[in-house]
Structure 1
Amino acid sequence: MSGLVAMAVFVLAPFPLGSADFVWIWIWIVLLALSLVTTDLEAIGREDFRLLLPLFVAMALVGATVALQTWPDPLVGRTNPVWKLPHDLLGADVPARISMTAAGPWLAFGSPLLMSLAFARAVLLAAEAAAAQRLLRTLAWAGFLYASYGILAQLADPSTLLFRQKEAYLGFATGTFVNRNTAATFWGSCALLFLVPLLRSLHRVDQRAGPPSDRPLALLWHYLATPAALAFGFTVCTLATAMTGSRAGLLLSIAAFLLAGTLYLWPLELGAFRRWALLAGAAVASILLLQMIGGAVAGRILTYGLIDDQRLTAYRASIAIIRDHPMFGVGLGNFEAAFAAYRPAGLGSLGIWDRAHSTPLQLAVEIGLPAAIPIVAIVLWYVYHLFRGSLRRRRDRYIPIIGASVAALGLLHSSMDFSLQIAGYGVFFAAIAGAGLAQSFPSSLRKNGGGVVVTEL
């Protein structure tokens, strides 16, 4: 039951408009917390808890920073000048804080807490390879359904978003998300959930087994794992990604496809010529893919280029905020409040800049460099283990490959946008990355506590 609750959260989080509202974030937090406290620890070893230790450190660091930011008249740190205004204008004696708002950081703390719970639950849920396979397979076909809905909704009624009036991106598919860039990254991640098993299925053509039993569910999962079904799922998710018109979303997704293929092929004994020929063929296929289904994206690249000048201007303003508040930031969740005073004239009067369009940059703005730098280092440490497992494992190696390629896609896109700050994608992303990380280490490491052992494919 505990695993089913977690699975339901992973699958349903993208549905209610990306779970961007606080109410959905806290609903998912409660459900994941209940799932965690009722976890069956029998299949979980010490290595799994060691994997989660840096995550606990990161969350403790964020929590301590938020507590300091909201503490009235703190003993350390420079309080924000905004707290002088009540005294200067009204003569009111209001305690000063580092944060620009008193309660905002604790409300904003829900988003990183939710992602951390999703990541931790996925790691524990995917401790066994069979469970990891079920999780990724379920997420793949859930993503297929979201992609199918996004395509059909755009073709049938492009002016609505989940039966509501669509206010933006009328000419592009967004599915259940408000923002097309987040939708593109989400569907690109779903496409990877099909692509890597497809590569494995084609490579292991002589090792395919029949259905494990005649039960309807077993037969269904067997046929959904065939190359034809996987290719169909990949095609639908990739088409949905292209229909968003997101430049970074589609280009980074194609780059992630190439990365996944490279990670899968590189350790195989193919010979140098064959390996490079396959990679070159994949690159050509990617270019053809962009030409065939990325017409809207190619048109936007020709019109606007690859670099958004407005974002570069906003990045410079964000760096200016960091210079003025380097130690403890302006308060978690307070980017929009702080940015108004630094907004350059070059941005004009249009557009709402409630996010920095770069998650690492916004993190530094809101919690300061001393907290942001270790958190980024912890994320990179996890990414390193995903790539290491992708190249060194053999049994079920495709699972860490999925985790590594999705991690690369999500993190790179969030470095120039805010897709991971949308809870619906953040939870989905954390579940995939957590499952990949759980299977980045051989089973022998959990059982024996020894070093890394390369096992059978």
Structure 2
Amino acid sequence: MPGLQREIISVHRISQFIALFVVLVAPLPFGSVDLIWVWIWTALLVVSLMTADLSRLCRADLLVLGSTVVILLFTCALAIFQVWPGIDFAIANPAWDMARNVAGLTLPDRLSVTASVPWVAFGPCLLFALVLARAYLIATDEEAARSLLKATAYAGFAYAVYGIATQLLAPGMLLWRTKEYYLSFATGTFVNRNTAAAFWGCCAVLFLGMLLALSSDTWFAERPRRIRHSIADHPIVLCSGLLACLTAVGMTGSRAGVLLTLLCLAFLANLHLMQYRDQLRRYWFVAGAVTVAAIMVFFVIGGMASSRVGMFGVGDPRRLEVYRTSLEMLRGHELFGWGLGNFEAAFPSFRAADLGSQGIWDKAHSTPLEMLVSAGIPLTILVCGLAVLFFGRMILGSLTRRRDNYMPATGAAVFLLGALHSCIDFSVQVTGFAVLFAAVVGCGLAQSISSKKRRSGVGQFNIS
């Protein structure tokens, strides 16, 4: 029996290593935008989930894991329905009838404007759900959750250092390829600077979360020290990581990236410190210091972003026109949409003349809006409703936990940054960012349940 137990422990450690490898490496190959990386990471996570440790699960975990599975099944069913041949002509996409009349081809009616894209587009949805679930299972153990957040933060630090160094020394290179876009801005291993800004902003949030947890003993003497800290937890090291990530965000020149990063850093600081709100003098002093620091950081590192705000303003007229056109595309397709991943195929016939001939709009630059166009209103409402539920659960967990409340608070701040940025761009549709986003949110959700409840076995159920 002892030998068998050691083997099981070894399998669980290997399983966690596989999951951690995916989270840390996914941003490397150009943000994993190529479909081949989606399937590689999916295969690895399936293996990791099959060998995951389920011993710490309790009934409260079913809300997250169960609802995630339900939404995933709805999405899969919708993708199959959208590409199913021979659909009723009344609800079929008119593109198929046009193809038969113009090209003289014998083609069955489908709900989707393409025959296979919805099924292919389901792959990133599956990967996102797998990462969220695997990170959640890992984070049911508080030490493993702490290690996951720390490893993700320092991976982001490494990517930030690389992005800064590359922009200073070889601005025309993107890894081993020649950089074609955003030559004046840092993008790291990502193609798009806005996605890079959201990625480094999330990593900055992770560093601030660890700094807040470490500094609580100094600011609030009532909080006992429980953890033996390593060199990676030293305040100077954590501040260096935070500064590097913030510098990288500033060097992207992304207006939304800089503003949302500072907003979410302030949100995290105040959410973490809310548990000390009874100590009003210290709380308001620290809250004020955080606000002043955020303003100073904006003027120090947000030079390029603030200059672009002055030149172009906060909004983008062309993007607003795409949003308006996307809402027009929804008419007549409210229930089932145009097909998952079909925005690029459907948009050209609706493209307004005001957009001119420049620019390739293969995405709506708003993930919720593109979800409406491609999947319809019902599924979008379900997904957004679940997202709000998850966000609320992490906020509640950060306010009710007596210890380690920085983990659900960090998850909530990263969620807020990614969700807000994806409302005006497509960062969460880039696999390299989506993997980090799902992992941190999964960790925050798992740690919203107190460790005391898990240890006491309250609500625990038998997996076997």
TM-score band (shorter)? over 0.9
Which position in structure 2 is the counterpart of 1:326? 334
Give the Cα–Cα distance (whole angstroms) in 1 for the partners of residues 177 and 342 of structure 2. Answer: 29
SS in structure 1 at match of 2:425:
coil
Where structure 1 has 5 or more consecutive residues not aligned to the other structure, the ranges are: 212-220, 452-457
Identity over aligned pairs, percent: 44
Give the Cα–Cα distance (whole angstroms) in 2 for the partners of residues 82 and 154 of structure 1. Answer: 45
Where structure 2 has 5 or more consecutive residues not aligned to the other structure, the ranges are: 1-13
CA-CA distance at 1:124 after TM superposition: 0.4
> Which of residues 369, 384, 388 is equivalent to 1:376?
384
Counterpart code for 1:193: L
CA-CA distance at 1:299 after TM superposition: 0.6
Counterpart code for 1:181: N
Q: Residues 81-230 of structure 1 correspond to what in structure 2 (within 5 A)?
A: 81-205=94-218, 207=224, 222-230=230-238
Which position in structure 2 is the counterpart of 1:359? 367
CA-CA distance at 1:77 after TM superposition: 6.7
CA deviations 1:77-136 (Å, max 9, x no partner) are 711111012321233221010101111101111111111000000000111101100111
Q: 1:267 to 1:208 in 2, by over 3 A?
A: closer
Give the Cα–Cα distance (whole angstroms) in 2 for the partners of residues 433 and 77 of structure 1. Answer: 41
Give the Cα–Cα distance (whole angstroms) in 2 for the partners of residues 279 and 9 of structure 1. Answer: 36
Q: Residues 237-256 of structure 1 correspond to what in structure 2 (within 5 A)?
A: 237-256=245-264
CA-CA distance at 1:47 after TM superposition: 2.8
Q: 1:210 to 1:316 in 2, by over 3 A?
A: closer
CA deviations 1:147-196 (Å, max 9, x no partner) are 00000010000010002110110000000000000000000000111101
Which position in structure 2 is the counterpart of 1:433? 441
Counterpart code for 2:85: P
Which position in structure 2 is the counterpart of 1:216? none
Give the Cα–Cα distance (whole angstroms) in 2 for the partners of residues 132 and 228 of structure 1. Answer: 22
Counterpart code for 1:103: S
Give the Cα–Cα distance (whole angstroms) in 2 for the partners of residues 90 and 190 of structure 1. Answer: 51
CA-CA distance at 1:42 after TM superposition: 2.2
CA-CA distance at 1:270 after TM superposition: 4.9
Comparing 307-316 with 77-86, greater Cα deviation is found at 77-86
CA-CA distance at 1:50 after TM superposition: 3.4
Q: 1:319 to 1:269 in 2, by over 3 A?
A: closer
Give the Cα–Cα distance (whole angstroms) in 2 for the partners of residues 344 and 89 of structure 1. Answer: 24
Which position in structure 2 is the counterpart of 1:215? none
Which position in structure 2 is the counterpart of 1:305? 313
Give the Cα–Cα distance (whole angstroms) in 1 for the partners of residues 135 and 291 of structure 2. Answer: 32
Counterpart code for 2:458: G
How many positions carry a matched residue from both structures? 442
Q: Is the 8 A contact 1:48 1:124 kept in 2?
A: no
CA-CA distance at 1:275 after TM superposition: 2.5
> Which of residues 324, 335, 339 is equivalent to 2:343?
335
Q: 1:210 to 1:185 in 2, by over 3 A?
A: closer
CA deviations 1:1-41 (Å, max 9, x no partner) are 11100000000000000000000011000000110011122
Give the Cα–Cα distance (whole angstroms) in 1 for the partners of residues 322 and 43 of structure 2. Answer: 35
Which position in structure 1 is the counterpart of 2:92? 79
Is structure 2 residue 462 aligned with structure 1 residue 449?
no
Give the Cα–Cα distance (whole angstroms) in 2 for the partners of residues 90 and 362 of structure 1. Answer: 29
Q: Is the 8 A contact 1:83 1:97 kept in 2?
A: yes
Is structure 2 residue 305 aligned with structure 1 residue 292?
no
CA-CA distance at 1:256 after TM superposition: 0.3
Displaced runs of 4 or more, over 4 A: 206-211
Q: Is the 8 A contact 1:444 1:450 kept in 2?
A: no
Give the Cα–Cα distance (whole angstroms) in 2 for the partners of residues 258 and 375 of structure 1. Answer: 27
Counterpart code for 1:328: F
Q: Is the 8 A contact 1:140 1:194 kept in 2?
A: yes
Is structure 2 residue 418 aligned with structure 1 residue 405?
no
Q: Is the 8 A contact 1:77 1:98 kept in 2?
A: no
Coordinate RMSD, CA, aligned: 1.6
SS in structure 2 at match of 1:267:
helix
Counterpart code for 1:438: A
Give the Cα–Cα distance (whole angstroms) in 2 for the partners of residues 76 and 193 of structure 1. Answer: 51
Comparing 184-193 with 89-98, greater Cα deviation is found at 89-98
Is structure 2 residue 294 aligned with structure 1 residue 281?
no
SS in structure 2 at match of 1:174:
coil
Q: Given the two structures, how large is their TM-score scaled by the length of structure 2?
A: 0.92
Is structure 2 residue 58 aligned with structure 1 residue 14?
no
Counterpart code for 1:342: F
Give the Cα–Cα distance (whole angstroms) in 2 for the partners of residues 355 and 210 of structure 1. Answer: 45
Give the Cα–Cα distance (whole angstroms) in 1 for the partners of residues 405 and 100 of structure 2. Answer: 62
Comparing 2-11 with 386-395, greater Cα deviation is found at 386-395
Q: Is the 8 A contact 1:101 1:331 kept in 2?
A: yes
Which position in structure 2 is the counterpart of 1:60? 73
Which position in structure 2 is the counterpart of 1:268? 276
Give the Cα–Cα distance (whole angstroms) in 2 for the partners of residues 450 and 94 of structure 1. Answer: 54
Give the Cα–Cα distance (whole angstroms) in 1 for the partners of residues 327 and 315 of structure 2. Answer: 18
CA-CA distance at 1:442 after TM superposition: 1.1
Comparing 326-335 with 46-55, greater Cα deviation is found at 46-55
Q: 1:119 to 1:209 in 2, by over 3 A?
A: closer
CA-CA distance at 1:208 after TM superposition: 5.0
